[in-house]
Amino acid sequence: MFEPKMMKLMQKVFSLHIYEDNDFSRKDYYQACGFKLEIGANISCRLGFGSSVWEAALGLCQYFEKEGIRFTDKKVIELGAGTGIVSILAALLGGDVTITDQPKLLNRIERNVSFNIPSSFKPQVKVRALRWGLDNSLFPSDYDYILCSDIMYFHYNIPLILETLLHLSNEKTVVYFASTMFYGQNVTREGHVTLSQYFQTELVCRYDVEDVNVYRMRLNTPTAVQHPNLQRRC
């Protein structure tokens, strides 16, 4: 398989430790697509995966910069947004963006949005809870882009992620799905094999040192997709 590569992953410009803040222990600063991104993080936070910026999110941001991707007048949704860095950049690049994650993370995402999004952009940014496989019906299926980065950590989430992607997608939707392949290696690889049964999948960028892959995906069937028989989990 042809693997387009980039040598080095985007790095933060600097970090600032903060105190007496229940949400964040530091702010990390990044440069991407001509914007300075200010992202609150808390690596020791009990909220786990959603509390810091992961490699695949940086890889996706850098890919947008490398390819000159813009989201002007496009409807975008991110799954498992974590700190919100990818969605924030997509909004700054013109997208009408819905940022989603578990309910307990939304306050932190909203704060990161407030750090970065000018007031004139805020009407086009929404922060909402989306529990995969449970809240799908609350969202439409007319998104131009779906963004995902480092969201496959557990086997039981794979069918739920697939079900959610199938609900949100239409024949024109482009999915950008970035994964750090060595995190939960078996789970991540199994997840991408499963997704490739329902989506045309192309590896568009790879960061060798950090083992990050960026995939571009579209629905396999242009008119109808047979949804798999997925087991619900609460």
Phi, psi of 220 (to 5 degrees): -65, -45
Provide the phi-psi class of 70: left if phi over 0, else alpha when psi is between -120 and 50, else beta: beta
The string of pLDDT tens digits covering residues 43-53 is 766 666 677 89
Distance CA 50, CA 29 (A): 17
The predicted pLDDT at position 91 comes to: 97
Average pLDDT, the chain: 90
The string of pLDDT tens digits covering residues 26-38 is 999 999 999 999 9
**Domain locations in the chain as residue ranges:** 5-219
Q: How many residues does the chain have?
A: 234
Distance CA 4, CA 175 (A): 18
Q: What is the mean pLDDT of residues 60-73?
A: 96
Q: Cα-atom radius of gyration of the chain, to the nearest Å?
A: 17
The predicted pLDDT at position 1 comes to: 46
Token pair listed for 224: 């109808």
The predicted pLDDT at position 224 comes to: 42
What is the band of 8 on the pLDDT scale with cuts at 50, 70, 90?
Answer: confident
Q: Is the pLDDT at 222 greater than 80, yes or no?
A: no
The string of pLDDT tens digits covering residues 101-128 is 999 999 999 999 999 999 888 889 999 9
Q: Is the pLDDT at 232 greater than 60, yes or no?
A: no
Q: What is the mean pLDDT of residues 170-191?
A: 93
Q: Which CATH superfamily is domain 5-219 in?
A: Vaccinia Virus protein VP39 (3.40.50.150)
Q: Is the pLDDT at 5 greater than 70, yes or no?
A: no
